[in-house]
Amino acid sequence: MRSRDQVRLRTLRMALTSITNEEVAGASVHELSDEDIMKVLMREAKKRREAAEAFAAAGRADQAEAERAEGEVLAAYLPAQLSDDELTSLVTAAVAETGASGMPGMGKVMKAVTPAVAGRADGARVAAEVRRQLGA
């Protein structure tokens, strides 16, 4: 904050506000666990990615770049994302473990692989890989 990096300052303030809003949401005020805070930060990072895509599609490159920059700041506070190879091996192991075959077994595989992924890959990416392996 002292370095006057406006993008970082704006992004961290937004993240703190989101965390505070999550803490006071519901019937009573509660303190968030580290896992809950990671979920909030992942949700905010996903919002930034989607907003950047929407702005880029609308021809607003300057606003899309600002959203991407905010996403990069948030990414520094999140666990490293799984590579495609790591995700493929986790899904392959889950398919073997559950014995699922075909699309009806997708729920079982997702249930097995989701805890292993835990914030290191977007749910849509995981689901796409499960579909690919079960569909093949």
Give the start-to-end residue ranges of the domains of the chain.
6-75, 84-135
| CATH code of the domain occupying 84-135 | 1.10.10.410
Q: At what angle do helices 123-135 and 84-98 cross, to 10 degrees?
A: 60
Per-residue pLDDT of the chain (136 residues; tens, 9 = 90+): 566 789 999 999 999 999 999 999 888 888 999 989 999 999 999 999 999 999 999 999 999 999 999 999 999 998 888 899 999 999 999 989 888 888 888 888 899 998 888 888 888 899 999 999 888 6
Tokens of 79: 């666990």
Which of 115, 116, 110, 112 is closest to 130 using CA atoms? Answer: 110
Give the E-state strand segments of the chain in sequence order: none
Q: Are 102 and 116 in contact (CB under 8 A)?
A: no
C-alpha pair distances (Å), 132 with each of 75, 83, 115: 27, 16, 20
